[in-house]
Structure 1
Amino acid sequence: MPDMKLYRLTFGAAAAMLLASGPAFGQATAPVAAPEARAASGTMLSIDQLYQPRSLIGTTPEGYAWSADGRQLLFLWNDEGYSFRDLWVYSLDSGERTRLTSLGREADPKSERRGISEALFLGNDRIAFVVDGNLHIREADGASVQVETDKRAIRRLSLSPDGQTLAFVSGNPVDPRNRVTQGGILWTRDAAAPGGNAARRLVGNDDPKIYVSDYHWSSDGRAIAFEESDDRAMPERDIYYYAKGELQNNRVIRAFPGDETSRTRIGLIALGEAAPRYFERPDPLHHLWGFGLSQDGRRLFVNSSDLEVKDHIVYVFDTQTGKRETFYRERDPKHIRPDWKVAWAPGDRGLVILTDRDGFGHLYHKPSAGAAPRRITRGEWEIESFEVDASNNRIYFVANESALPERQLYRVAMGGGAVERVSPATPGTHTPVWSPDYSRAASFFTNDTTPPELLVIDPATPAQAKQVTRSPQPEFDRQTWAKVSYVEFPSHVDGTKLIGRLSVPADFDPSRRYPLIVGSVYSDAVRNQWGGRRAHPTWGLDQYFVARGYLVLNVNIRGSWGQGRKHTQAQLNSYGETDINDLESGVRHLVSKGYVDPSRVGLWGSSYGGLMTIMSLAKKPGVYAAGIAGAPATNVWHAYPSQMWIMGPPDGRDMPARYEAQSPLYQVQGVRDPLMIIHGTRDPVVLYSDTVALTEKMIANEQMFELVTLPGASHSWATDNLPQTRFAFRKMVDFFNLHLKPER
């Protein structure tokens, strides 16, 4: 095995971008000297102290929205670390941030409510915002009033480009006979209207199974293109469970592989028209990945693929006649990730397409249906998303050009050429919202040592980015946190280069042998951001383990984004095979370095990660001393139809063997090492009944296991509520401590 390579090392008490609290908010960032490391292994906080109503790492700033002139930025935040987000504004001219609402201070501090969910400027210092699904308008004098009181579940606010009309989606009228979905109706109202129920229904059906799922304004503000989904043919399933002392039923619309799926179509409606025009695709069951009107409104692209994402097709419609042409098409029988994105080129001169057609996800310009795509960017790195700055004939994009775990900001001319980085030099992850003229980016920024913050970046002077928020609470800076580095190692099966994210104690001693926890395992799990995975609240659990003498490893398994098409496609038809080999490769590498005890290795993951956990124990007995599977996908026959991207369709000469080979339910007889399963009974994604089926089989086989049942818990069992999070994480700690025996 080659020596460990420190792929990117970012640790210390604080990241360089993190400013001290006080009047410096909004000023240019400057490097901060890190204090001397203390002789401590890590934080000594308990699970309950790490997870509390007032979050130690603070509340993430969300919901960025620019004013029309790009001089003010709205965002949602809580400066005290509670979950309830209020409305704030940042001024580019004064460099100051101002709190506009104080609704969170009126709420119970222990509440799990998220507060204001979205907001935007209406002009004339007026702001529309949504709280608890209700629409409010904040007037110029600061007074707020609820409007559209007869509607519920309001979301997706959008102001027309001319600033005259506010659009939004709301839930369907309540139907006590059908509790399956809230649906979605598209409404518009005069942006200057002071209050009341002034909205006009633009598109919508009282059947909650037919709903508007997305929409975009035309550039002149006179029409809206929208996506309408129809779930009427999809099966409904009853999920029965006991909670609160009685039998409950969570009825859901839920398709399995081979079942009828949602039908989608794109429509266009002018504000003065009574009915929309629809643009039909050859197969309405095919996936829809995006759509967009040309600047002149005469054409509409639809970015789509077949159900197995092997056939990528972009159609272009004439909006007046409905005539359809196949503008772009590429078929690859091994494709498994629909990372395609499309936008109109400047001046409506064809389309810009993000595709991995040449091995890595890059940008191409296709001026017409008959023209060959022209590559704009190239290299052994990938682009995650992009936006076209039509006025300046260039493209802004997010990519990992600097390092696999990072997401930095770049721009390139439409004609191609040199790629310019426009985010600060600090390693990490940016998620930008660009101002209307692309002169600034509001970026959700985080890295391995910095919980998420809001930065405002001028692409002309990225080194002078301004930090708007300071989210962590004072106790955060008094803790010793884990050191994080990135390691490269080859697959022990085929030699493919793999990358892992490794967390070690602050007093790490390479001459010692540590217990290792692999996880939480999942695809796309190697990111330079606080806690590694934003979707899961496991930052505190990882820190707790490291402080008690564990090492924690995540691996960028095959099927993950960022290392190119060949790396991704190796996962085809290979749940519980190639992926778990990659995990084992990481274990072997760290054992070979001498600082991991091979007899004290555990792994855990949830959902697909639970599948990998059980498959690893079943197929690799003795490699792991213990495993924890949360909400494990044990039977791929009951997966979502989208999992056919990897599993393949439920037919063919190799069935049922293909699905059984990828299902822990049919492989569990190989489990010999300690296994804990954690699962919520209300889970509509991975059915609790599948866990019951697996445990019945293990009991029949006289295999030992532990089952932690969470009554009424959903698929996101670690985020449902704070007491449940603490309970489940404490169970995990006790289980690993029992079987891996840390020395602290």
Structure 2
Amino acid sequence: MANFRYFRGFATAAALVALTGAGSVAYGQVATHAPAHGTAAIPGTTLSLDELYQTKSLIGTTPEGYAWSADGSQLLFLWNDEGYSFRDVWSYSVKTGKKTRLTFAGRDAKPEAEQRGISQVVVLNKGHIAYVLNGQLNIRAANGDVTKVETDKKAVRRLAVSPDGKQLSFISGAPVDPRNRVTMGGVLWVRDVAAKADQAARRIAGDDDPKVYVDDYHWADDSRSIAFQQADDRLMPERDILYYAKGEAQNNRVIRAFPGEETTKAQIGVVDLASGRTRFFERPNAKDPIWNYGLSHDGKRLFVSGSDMEAKEHSIYVYDVATAARETFYQLREDKHLRPDWQVAWAPGDDGLIILTDRDGWLHLYHQPTAQAKPRQITSGPWEIASFSVDTARRQLYFTANESYLSERQIYRIPVAGGKMERISAPKPGTHEPVFSPQFKHVADFFTNDSTPAELFLIDTAKPGSAVQVTKSPQPAFYQQTWANIGYVEFPSHVDGVNLVGRLSLPANYDPAKRYPLIVGSVYSDSVQNQWGGRRAHPTWGLDQYFTAQGYIVLNVNVRGSWGQGRDHNQTQLHSYGETDINDLESGVRYLVAQNYVDPKRVGIWGSSYGGLMTIMSLSKKPGVYAAGIAGAPATNVWHAFPAQMWIMGPPDGPDMPARYEAQSALYQSGGIRDPLMIIHGTRDPVVLYSDTVALTEKMIAREQRFELVTLPGGNHGWDNEGLVQTRFAFKKMVDFFDRTVKNRK
């Protein structure tokens, strides 16, 4: 029988004992029990959607953009202590524990404008800092005076200070959205930190053609050279996305490839700053994606980690920087591989590479000292690592992993030589995103869990388990509400018996004698994580809380293809959009019905993008399982997906085409829809084309199938995260639809 894992942050230890019927349980520990905890009389939050989503955010403004000083004594971050969206620069002193606001640009911002504010900050010398506001580079002196510099440059981004602290680098040109490859240029510049305001930066890399641009870069340890990634979109197709907004015709012209078409050509170059000479390093196929790259500590070698377009073969090449001679350092092919989660870094002393790979079936760390040598495994177990950093001085590896439970992201360390793994983060369930100080003495920790919106904590690595809270973001009214009861259920797939995990949100006054209406969603991969709001990519925390307060249960399922449960778990998703994944969702519904949580006649499902594909496929292939569904920006036609989706879809050629792509496309599989469907889509969307939604609705009209279409004029792919007015409008539409078709269904 499956377990319900209880992480209720507001409960006391005594309450946990009462709920579980077990022995004493300390705060933050996991207890397992049947969910018979319906004695609470409180109904949950009483807030409306308008109150949940307001300009002055109830949950506060997340602290972001962490940047350490070179000596690790000062931490800068971007935050707003009043809950508005505009972020200013704040400083935290490790020695004194004092938090100080350094900029006040937000004073002149109108709260209703929903401006993000300062986008990045770095620490210079002598008390100076550099930051970017509205794409403009600014320098703040120790006395608080602010000077705009490089005023002829637009869209400044990716600030970095050289290791010797003498130079400031940045990219300028219109930003490149990684999901919408609108290429408007990207030039790499270097500016002397001691330069006067009217002294211009030196152009280091980049092209006059806006379709050839610098994507990313890294400083060499000796500050004498920079490795950078240059992208070339000149062969990629351009597409016109025509739509109406603001009372007239509009055109969003984008560079956008479909599977099988020309993609970005990527190169790694190294530029010597003294001479200005650049050397590029060729790969066997320049159109294959690059996942990461890095110079050795002595600057003499360069690794480039990449794969084929389908992410089936992972290759790491190592180059001699002086001659560009290439050797194949590591290569592994897995024909069923789906996820390019690989990461690579130089080992301490340039003793080969540290590689994060799932070669044993789980994402773990390996040390490979020389080319073609057998990698030595450092970590192991039925759990996975999400990211890692190398402490070269102490020959240690820091990493985040779900060793404690699937939904967790805890911080650990282990010697490069192997040995005992030590947990660094505090013994409290949740999600950690660390930024380490230069000497690895402290961690700037972005922490959140199911009951706690994200905050900045400081961890002393010499005192594992310690944590000092730096920010307090939620507004006072947040603590006056009763939020949903969130935990985790495990159940077998009804198709093949594979263990599945779900994140379950129950009403605060859950009554085990009742059967509740259920909302499955928002459905997506990687949707089961112990953090406030579940999936942070969408602002659905308030919508989910509203649903539970209105008497719904909300379920997210870690569908096949997701991170965290190993390669065997996710590989069954190969060529299986709208098949294995929707079976996993149905398994969650079946489990909750069997456990008497849910009324089987009142189940709704929703998701956006890939989640929209799963929603439409579920309604079509599983009539009667769901009373209704909502598909936001639904990816109905995989012929129009990004080429990267070939990880799962496979290439668009071969003897089984077009049948294979049509089998994975809701556009061709929607004939079975009998239950109510709502589609929400923005007309300017370059990721999932609005024209694909039109093609689907034409088919459904011809078949006289029921649906409702909510069109958002000028809306983009992130339709629920484009301003509070549109968010509230769309979410109210969703609530009304589910109340009519699910909750109040006769």
Q: TM-score, normalised by structure 2?
A: 0.95
Q: How does 1:467-482 map to 2 (within 5 A)?
A: 467-482=469-484
Which amino acid in the other structure matches residue 620 of structure 1? K
| 2:198 matched residue in structure 1 | 196
Q: Is residue 548–residue 742 contact of structure 1 (8 Å, CA) maintained in 2?
A: no
| 1:434 matched residue in structure 2 | 436
Q: Distance in 1 between matches of 2:463 and 2:553?
A: 39
| 1:223 matched residue in structure 2 | 225
1:547-589 Cα shifts (integer Å, max 9, x gaps): 0000000000000000000001010000000000000000000
> In the TM superposition, what is the alpha-carbon distance from 1:166 to its structure 2 partner?
0.5
1:336-375 Cα shifts (integer Å, max 9, x gaps): 1000000000000000000000010000000001311000
Q: Does 1:655 align with 2:653?
A: no
| 1:275 matched residue in structure 2 | 277
Q: Does 1:245 align with 2:247?
A: yes
Q: Does 1:412 align with 2:414?
A: yes
Q: Residue 422 of structure 1: which of 417, 421, 424 is its match?
A: 424
Q: Does 1:380 align with 2:382?
A: yes
| 1:724 matched residue in structure 2 | 726
> In the TM superposition, what is the alpha-carbon distance from 1:509 to its structure 2 partner?
0.9
Instruction: State the SS of the aligned residue for 2:570.
Output: helix
Q: Distance in 2 between matches of 1:254 and 1:8?
A: 44
> In the TM superposition, what is the alpha-carbon distance from 1:272 to its structure 2 partner?
1.7
Q: Residue 302 of structure 2: which of 294, 300, 303 is its match?
A: 300
Structure 1 window deviating more from structure 2 (475-484 vs 163-172): it is: 163-172
> In the TM superposition, what is the alpha-carbon distance from 1:200 to its structure 2 partner?
0.6
Instruction: State the SS of the aligned residue for 2:728.
Output: helix
Q: How does 1:224-373 map to 2 (within 5 A)?
A: 224-373=226-375
Structure 1 window deviating more from structure 2 (367-376 vs 495-504): it is: 367-376
Work out the number of aligned pairs and report it: 722
| 1:631 matched residue in structure 2 | 633
Q: How does 1:507-518 map to 2 (within 5 A)?
A: 507-518=509-520
Q: Is residue 15–residue 450 contact of structure 1 (8 Å, CA) maintained in 2?
A: no
1:225-279 Cα shifts (integer Å, max 9, x gaps): 0000000000000000000010000000000000000000000001122331000
| 1:25 matched residue in structure 2 | none
Q: Distance in 2 between matches of 1:302 and 1:291?
A: 4
> In the TM superposition, what is the alpha-carbon distance from 1:8 to its structure 2 partner?
4.2
Which amino acid in the other structure matches residue 239 of structure 1? I
Q: Distance in 2 between matches of 1:467 and 1:498?
A: 34
Q: Is residue 425–residue 466 contact of structure 2 (8 Å, CA) maintained in 1?
A: no
> In the TM superposition, what is the alpha-carbon distance from 1:66 to its structure 2 partner?
0.5
Q: Does 1:5 align with 2:3?
A: yes
Instruction: State the SS of the aligned residue for 1:104.
Output: helix
Q: Distance in 2 between matches of 1:171 and 1:630?
A: 32
Which amino acid in the other structure matches residue 201 of structure 1? R
> In the TM superposition, what is the alpha-carbon distance from 1:461 to its structure 2 partner?
1.6
| 2:22 matched residue in structure 1 | none
The verdict on how the C-alpha distance between 1:333 and 1:467 changes in structure 2, with shifts beyond 3 A counting, is same
> In the TM superposition, what is the alpha-carbon distance from 1:38 to its structure 2 partner?
6.4
Instruction: State the SS of the aligned residue for 1:391.
Output: coil
Q: Is residue 42–residue 482 contact of structure 2 (8 Å, CA) maintained in 1?
A: yes
Q: Distance in 1 between matches of 2:553 and 2:598?
A: 8
Q: Distance in 2 between matches of 1:493 and 1:196?
A: 68
Q: Is residue 38–residue 480 contact of structure 1 (8 Å, CA) maintained in 2?
A: no
Instruction: State the SS of the aligned residue for 2:243.
Output: strand
Q: Is residue 133–residue 154 contact of structure 1 (8 Å, CA) maintained in 2?
A: yes
Q: Distance in 2 between matches of 1:263 and 1:464?
A: 46
> In the TM superposition, what is the alpha-carbon distance from 1:204 to its structure 2 partner?
1.1
| 2:547 matched residue in structure 1 | 545
Q: Does 1:167 align with 2:165?
A: no
* RMSD of aligned Cα (Å): 1.8
| 1:27 matched residue in structure 2 | none
Q: Is residue 514–residue 742 contact of structure 1 (8 Å, CA) maintained in 2?
A: no
Q: Residue 156 of structure 1: which of 155, 158, 161 is its match?
A: 158
1:599-621 Cα shifts (integer Å, max 9, x gaps): 00000000000000000000000
The verdict on how the C-alpha distance between 1:13 and 1:168 changes in structure 2, with shifts beyond 3 A counting, is farther
Q: Distance in 1 between matches of 2:680 and 2:339?
A: 29
| 1:393 matched residue in structure 2 | 395
Instruction: State the SS of the aligned residue for 1:123.
Output: coil
Q: Distance in 2 between matches of 1:129 and 1:173?
A: 16
1:362-411 Cα shifts (integer Å, max 9, x gaps): 00000001311000000000000001101001100010001100000000
> In the TM superposition, what is the alpha-carbon distance from 1:44 to its structure 2 partner?
1.1
Instruction: State the SS of the aligned residue for 1:464.
Output: coil
Which amino acid in the other structure matches residue 171 of structure 2? V
Q: How does 1:573-584 map to 2 (within 5 A)?
A: 573-584=575-586
Instruction: State the SS of the aligned residue for 2:524.
Output: coil
Q: Distance in 1 between matches of 2:627 and 2:232?
A: 47
1:256-307 Cα shifts (integer Å, max 9, x gaps): 0000000000000011223310000010000100000001111000001000
Q: Is residue 14–residue 449 contact of structure 1 (8 Å, CA) maintained in 2?
A: no
| 2:17 matched residue in structure 1 | none
| 1:24 matched residue in structure 2 | none
Q: Is residue 85–residue 115 contact of structure 2 (8 Å, CA) maintained in 1?
A: yes
| 1:53 matched residue in structure 2 | 55
Q: Distance in 2 between matches of 1:93 and 1:676?
A: 55
| 1:455 matched residue in structure 2 | 457
Q: Distance in 2 between matches of 1:13 and 1:163?
A: 48
Q: Distance in 1 between matches of 2:197 and 2:705?
A: 64
> In the TM superposition, what is the alpha-carbon distance from 1:7 to its structure 2 partner?
2.9
Q: Distance in 2 between matches of 1:339 and 1:148?
A: 37
Which amino acid in the other structure matches residue 369 of structure 1? A
Q: Distance in 1 between matches of 2:709 and 2:564?
A: 36
Which amino acid in the other structure matches residue 515 of structure 1? P
> In the TM superposition, what is the alpha-carbon distance from 1:105 to its structure 2 partner?
1.8
Q: Distance in 2 between matches of 1:275 and 1:435?
A: 32
Instruction: State the SS of the aligned residue for 1:571.
Output: coil
Which amino acid in the other structure matches residue 7 of structure 2? L
| 2:97 matched residue in structure 1 | 95
1:455-482 Cα shifts (integer Å, max 9, x gaps): 0001222333100000000110010100
> In the TM superposition, what is the alpha-carbon distance from 1:6 to its structure 2 partner?
2.0
Which amino acid in the other structure matches residue 337 of structure 2? H
Q: Distance in 2 between matches of 1:224 and 1:71?
A: 26
> In the TM superposition, what is the alpha-carbon distance from 1:40 to its structure 2 partner?
1.6
| 1:22 matched residue in structure 2 | none
Q: Distance in 2 between matches of 1:382 and 1:612?
A: 26
> In the TM superposition, what is the alpha-carbon distance from 1:499 to its structure 2 partner?
0.2
Which amino acid in the other structure matches residue 609 of structure 1? G
Q: Distance in 1 between matches of 2:487 and 2:480?
A: 22
> In the TM superposition, what is the alpha-carbon distance from 1:106 to its structure 2 partner?
1.4
Gaps of 5+ in 1: 17-29
Q: Distance in 2 between matches of 1:10 and 1:460?
A: 29
Moved over 3 A (4+): 13-16
> In the TM superposition, what is the alpha-carbon distance from 1:704 to its structure 2 partner?
1.1
| 1:210 matched residue in structure 2 | 212
Q: Distance in 2 between matches of 1:189 and 1:68?
A: 18
Which amino acid in the other structure matches residue 357 of structure 1? R
| 2:679 matched residue in structure 1 | 677
Q: Distance in 1 between matches of 2:308 and 2:185?
A: 25
Gaps of 5+ in 2: 15-25, 29-37
Q: Distance in 1 between matches of 2:597 and 2:564?
A: 29
Q: Is residue 9–residue 452 contact of structure 2 (8 Å, CA) maintained in 1?
A: no
Q: Is residue 12–residue 37 contact of structure 1 (8 Å, CA) maintained in 2?
A: no
Which amino acid in the other structure matches residue 7 of structure 1? R
Q: Residue 621 of structure 1: which of 603, 620, 623 is its match?
A: 623
The verdict on how the C-alpha distance between 1:580 and 1:550 changes in structure 2, with shifts beyond 3 A counting, is same
| 1:21 matched residue in structure 2 | none
